[in-house]
């Protein structure tokens, strides 16, 4: 039956006296292997070296098998789990209703609503001087007011951006549409000639022009801006025939009749 012995330091069973004599410069292969095992084990975990002896009779001429237990393996620490990001707060996104995407050129006010949780704050502002929002901040549901000034530019529309809690809303104000009204569309004048007047009504920033189709019918005020009185000058009609001409004022037609001279 095999036996297991703890070997003293520097000695292995089965060595001859000649082999043990390290000082004489003779080191057997088995002795060298055992020293390597012992050196490795002393750096890790102490282990018992067992020598299995095939025969308990202790024959000095047999070599003993030397075996060692498996060396412990250092385990790497498990990586720390990556923390999950904190969820963003919910329920504070504002819902905007009633804000018109486009408005006429006229000055006006437009109410609109903000829907948000009662614990949530909100801010509202405009990037245009001609469009203002009030109030500018608050908490919970609210009704706001958008006030726009008149667009006095007849050839151009304009845009304002209303921002509510960092969410932009675009509001387009249409270009100014000019309309013109004349107090008459027919001039009936005598043969003596002279000045005639036509009243033009329009908005202050609206331009207009006036032209004549005839040399005997001259326009004294050929153009302007806003409401005005258009003055025309008629020559003396020395003919016995009635004559006619056309004035064009702010795109509108005015028929002019000058009566014949019966004298």
CATH of domain 95-173: 2.60.40.10
Decide whether 95-173 matches 181-258 in CATH topology: yes
CA distance 212 to 206: 21
CA 222 to chain centroid: 51
Predicted confidence at residue 11, as pLDDT, reads 45
DSSP symbol at 13: T
In order along its 263 residues, the chain shows pLDDT tens digits of: 444 444 444 444 444 444 444 444 444 555 555 555 455 555 544 444 443 433 434 444 444 444 445 555 555 555 555 444 333 345 588 899 999 999 999 899 999 999 999 999 999 999 999 999 999 999 999 999 999 999 988 778 999 999 999 999 999 999 888 899 999 999 999 999 999 999 999 988 889 999 999 999 999 999 999 999 999 999 999 999 999 999 999 999 999 999 999 87
CA distance 152 to 40: 95
Strands 252-258 and 186-189: parallel
Predicted confidence at residue 92, as pLDDT, reads 80
The token pair that represents 126 in the structure block? 């405009």
Question: Domain 181-258: what homologous superfamily?
Answer: Immunoglobulins (2.60.40.10)
Nearest to 129 by CA among 158, 156, 165: 158
Nearest to 204 by CA among 152, 149, 151: 152
Domain residue spans in the chain?
A: 17-67, 95-173, 181-258
pLDDT tens profile 118-128: 999 999 999 99
State the distance between the two ends of the chain, measured CA to CA, in whole angstroms.
167
Residue 237 backbone phi and psi in degrees, to 5: -100, 105
DSSP H/E element including 42: helix 29-43
Contacts of 59 (CB under 8 A, 6+ apart): none
3-state secondary structure of 231: strand
Contacts of 258 (CB under 8 A, 6+ apart): 189, 190, 191, 193, 216, 217, 234, 237, 242, 243, 244, 245
Predicted confidence at residue 38, as pLDDT, reads 56
3-state secondary structure of 29: helix
CA distance 196 to 257: 12
Residues paired with 50 in a beta bridge: 6, 67
Please state, as a whole number, how many other Cβ atoms lie within 10 Å of the Cβ of residue 176. 20
Nearest to 68 by CA among 91, 45, 93, 85: 45
């Amino acid at each position: 039956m095999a036996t297991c012995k703890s070997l003293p330091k520097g000695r292995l069973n089965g060595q001859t006296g000649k082999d043990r004599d390290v000082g004489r410069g003779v080191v057997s292969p088995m002795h060298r292997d055992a020293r390597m095992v012992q050196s490795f084990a002393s750096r890790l975990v102490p282990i018992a070296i067992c020598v299995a002896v095939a025969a308990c009779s202790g024959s000095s001429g047999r070599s003993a098998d030397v075996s060692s237990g498996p060396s412990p393996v250092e385990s790497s620490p498990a990586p720390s789990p990556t923390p999950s990001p904190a969820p963003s707060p919910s329920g504070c996104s504002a819902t905007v209703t009633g804000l018109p995407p486009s408005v006429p050129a006229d000055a006006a006010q437009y109410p609109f609503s903000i829907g948000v949780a009662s614990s949530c704050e909100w801010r509202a502002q405009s990037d245009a001087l001609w469009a203002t929002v009030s109030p500018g901040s608050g908490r919970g549901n609210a009704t706001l007011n958008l006030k726009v000034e008149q667009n006095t530019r007849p050839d151009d529309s304009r845009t304002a951006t209303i921002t509510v809690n960092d969410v932009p809303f675009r509001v387009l104000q249409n270009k100014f549409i000019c309309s013109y009204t004349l107090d008459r569309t027919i001039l009936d004048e005598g043969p003596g000639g002279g000045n005639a007047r036509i009243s033009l009504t329009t908005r202050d920033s609206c331009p207009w022009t006036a032209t004549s189709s005839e040399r005997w019918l001259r326009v004294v005020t050929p153009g302007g801006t806003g409401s005005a009185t258009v003055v025309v000058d008629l020559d003396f009609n020395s003919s016995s025939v009635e004559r006619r001409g056309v004035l064009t004022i702010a795109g509108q037609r005015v028929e002019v009749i000058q009566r014949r001279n019966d004298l």
